[in-house]
């Protein structure tokens, strides 16, 4: 079941990658104003989960050593074109965020992601949270941004209007339960949540609280 979900997403983005940046342009006019602020305090060893076409790369601090992963090889090919814009060292890898089998435990100071949580089916999210906790150092930080359904009736109605398109093209939904899965984690502690715009763009931040001696399993 899990591999089938990932295969569907990989196949979807094998097509979507060709026109992803064009489709995303109306939203990117807003996102590009947020990216520098989201990344300004991130330093050290960093994992960006769902690096996509590499829109965040040029905003990382020069002292960052970035590992950017994505499930889709087609998206990574487009991200490779933006590596030259980055001021930091960048390694791109094709990887499944629910496995991260090629990444050792306690590796990263930060896990950062924009919108991977909207795309990832709920059945897979606890697995991804477990992997984020495993690869983070004790005391490491995470910052995840996703879109959720608004409680404002007018905004919600607009979202419901384009939700079928968003799910068909991006595999994304506005009803994921990412924050609930984070709260259930024993190794990831949510320290702050906020909305970047309306009550739609949910930012979830926190820290890895596993003790140094804890050996978290790879899967």
Q: pTM here?
A: 0.93
> Does residue 71 fall inside a structural domain?
yes
1-5, 73-77, 205-209: segment of lowest average pLDDT: 1-5
> Does residue 43 fall inside a structural domain?
yes
> Does residue 125 fall inside a structural domain?
yes
Label residue 6 by pLDDT band (50, 70, 90). Answer: confident
Residues in contact with 66: Cβ distance below 8 Å, sequence separation at least 6, in sequence order: 46, 47, 48, 57, 60, 86, 88, 89, 90, 91
What mean pLDDT is predicted for residues 125-148? 97
What mean pLDDT is predicted for residues 132-156? 98
Q: Please tell me the predicted confidence (pLDDT) of residue 2.
A: 55
> Does residue 142 fall inside a structural domain?
yes
Average pLDDT across the chain, whole number: 93
Q: Residue 93 is part of a domain; what is its CATH number?
A: 3.40.50.150
> Does residue 136 fall inside a structural domain?
yes
Closest CA to 75 of 151, 136, 18: 18
Domains of the chain: total: 1
Which of 213 and 191 is assigned the larger pLDDT? 191
> Does residue 147 fall inside a structural domain?
yes
Sign of CA dihedral 29, 31, 33, 35: negative
* pLDDT tens for each residue of 24-68: 999 999 999 999 999 999 999 999 999 999 999 999 999 999 999
* pLDDT tens for each residue of 103-131: 999 999 999 999 999 999 999 999 999 99
> Does residue 215 fall inside a structural domain?
no
* pLDDT tens for each residue of 161-195: 999 999 999 999 999 999 999 999 999 999 999 99
> Does residue 218 fall inside a structural domain?
no
Domain that holds residue 73: 2-208
User: What is the per-residue burial (b if ≥16 Cβ within 10 Å, else e) of 137-163?
Assistant: beebbbbbbbbbbbeeeeebeebeeeb
């Amino acid at each position: 079941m899990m591999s089938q979900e990932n295969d569907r997403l990989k196949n979807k983005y094998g097509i979507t990658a060709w026109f992803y940046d064009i489709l995303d342009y109306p939203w990117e006019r807003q996102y590009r104003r947020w990216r520098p602020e989201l990344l300004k305090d991130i330093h050290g060893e960093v994992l960006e989960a769902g690096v996509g076409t590499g829109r965040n790369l040029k905003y990382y601090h020069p002292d960052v050593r970035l590992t950017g992963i994505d499930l889709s090889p087609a998206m990574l090919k487009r991200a490779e074109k933006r590596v030259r814009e980055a001021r930091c060292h960048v390694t791109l890898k094709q990887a499944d965020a629910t496995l991260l089998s090629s990444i050792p435990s306690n590796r990263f100071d930060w896990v950062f992601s924009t919108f991977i949580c909207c795309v990832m089916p709920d059945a897979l999210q606890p697995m991804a949270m477990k992997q984020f906790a495993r690869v983070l150092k004790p005391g490491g930080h995470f910052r995840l941004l996703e879109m959720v359904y608004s409680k404002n009736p007018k905004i919600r109605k607009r979202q419901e209007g384009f939700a079928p398109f968003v799910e068909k093209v991006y595999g994304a939904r506005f009803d994921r339960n990412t924050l609930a899965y984070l709260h259930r984690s024993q190794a990831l502690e949510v320290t702050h949540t906020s909305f970047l715009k309306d009550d739609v763009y949910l930012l979830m931040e926190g820290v890895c609280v596993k003790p140094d001696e804890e050996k978290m399993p790879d899967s």
